[in-house]
Structure 1
């Protein structure tokens, strides 16, 4: 069996104790996730995080740091994901931006509001990334090295 981990990015965007979340339709139900997605060919991790956040929320963001690098195997399909999670600040909203297919919209939620909706999380990585962010896990963007 060939093992092919998926490289993904996610962005934690916080404003006044609220976090930018994505409501999406996945596997027959509506779920919450950070703005997140797969790294595209010939794309940097930072560019992927900026692109995915815009495509899923309509927000331009400026990455400010790296929160962590997470390895997660989805129990639903056995696929392993390596997630690089960034912190970012919201820069500009484009309310008329055409969001990706399956995206129902963006929501700003507090941690408590997220906890109350635990059954709707796409994965446990949501709260882990937010809690690491709140605990002060902020590493320099210089941690991400460009390809040679």
Structure 2
């Protein structure tokens, strides 16, 4: 039942994404998606500094805020920013998305669902305030990011 629900949500997400992408020109889609991923990366860095590196004092409220931003961004419909015309750089607006991203629907759906689940689980872990729980969820979220980058992102 859970897989059916996830599959249905993925189909709905893809349909909504395609409809929403028509409202934003390709250049802006690339700009917006890069901004979204940069914002998530910055928040991942804040969590890493506290939960993993311990280079910054543990602050459960800050960790929770950062995790909530990551989950909210992951669930915001970022797929809408991968519309037609965004598979290549446009003028000065560069993209590092591999062409396979736009043809491997099953693979992209799989990594997108995994990332959304990991981001949501990170937010749930952060709500506990427990550093070890956050560290474990952080690692899983990072792994989900890496799986997409390895397959669909040019260096």
Scaled by the length of structure 2, the TM-score of the pair is: 0.26
In terms of fraction of residues, the more strand-rich structure is 1
Scaled by the length of structure 1, the TM-score of the pair is: 0.27
